[in-house]
Amino acid sequence: MDASQAAAGHAVFETVIGFMGIAWSDAGLSRLCLPQRNRDAVERRLLRHAAADQAAKPEPQWVAELIPSIKAYAAGEDVDFSGVPVDLSGVDEFRLAIYDAARKLGFGETTTYGELAKRAGHAGLARETGAALGANPVPLVIPCHRILAAGGKIGGFSAPGGSATKEKMLAMEGVRVGPPPPAQVSFGF
């Protein structure tokens, strides 16, 4: 990890859906950990990616605003994370294009891996798009949970809890994934 990727700080905080955490550098948000049951698990995930010699720096204003925004999102509020600065140093051009296209999806808006690849200028690379999203260091801010498999299926999710977490996040945004509920066939009179 070079100096430009060194984390300037991190924070772990509790939300209504579990403990979450963020890490940041001078350039922006470098890591976001989705909900886990305990603080230690989040702390371990953050520190696994942090520089060994982190120097404590004052928390930037955008971090002070981001934490309550994440808590509001976890409580079911419509939050727009598109203005959060992100540090994607070391990320290749393909992933940058995919992440940029994903950031344009709003609360409750979904698309497929194939369509996102097309929007990013890489039509036909749905599998590669899925792999890029699986390596997303800042889920939620880069809303990879809003990308579905062909046919509206849930698809994979590399965060703790896997596809079940993805489905819960989408449900919080009012998106129902999967087959429609069966129609009522009889009133039972």
Residue in 98, 142, 144, 159 annotated catalytic: 144
Longest dimension (CA), the chain: 72
pLDDT at 124 over 50: yes
* pTM (predicted TM-score): 0.85
**32 — pLDDT class (breaks 50, 70, 90):** very high
Confidence at residue 57, expressed as pLDDT on a 0 to 100 scale: 63
33 in active site: no
The burial class, CB within 10 Å (0-12 / 13-18 / 19+), for 182 is exposed
**48 — pLDDT class (breaks 50, 70, 90):** confident
Average pLDDT score over residue span 43-52: 75
Return d(Cα 157, Cα 167) in angstroms, integer: 9
Sign of the dihedral defined by the CA atoms of residues 145, 148, 149, 153, in that order:
positive
- CB of 129 within 8 A of CB of 122? yes
The burial class, CB within 10 Å (0-12 / 13-18 / 19+), for 27 is middle
> Which domains are assigned to the chain?
3-74 (no CATH), 93-172 (1.10.10.10)
Q: Calculate the average pLDDT of the chain.
A: 88
pLDDT tens, position by position, 56-114: 567 899 999 999 999 999 999 999 999 999 999 999 999 999 999 999 999 999 999 99
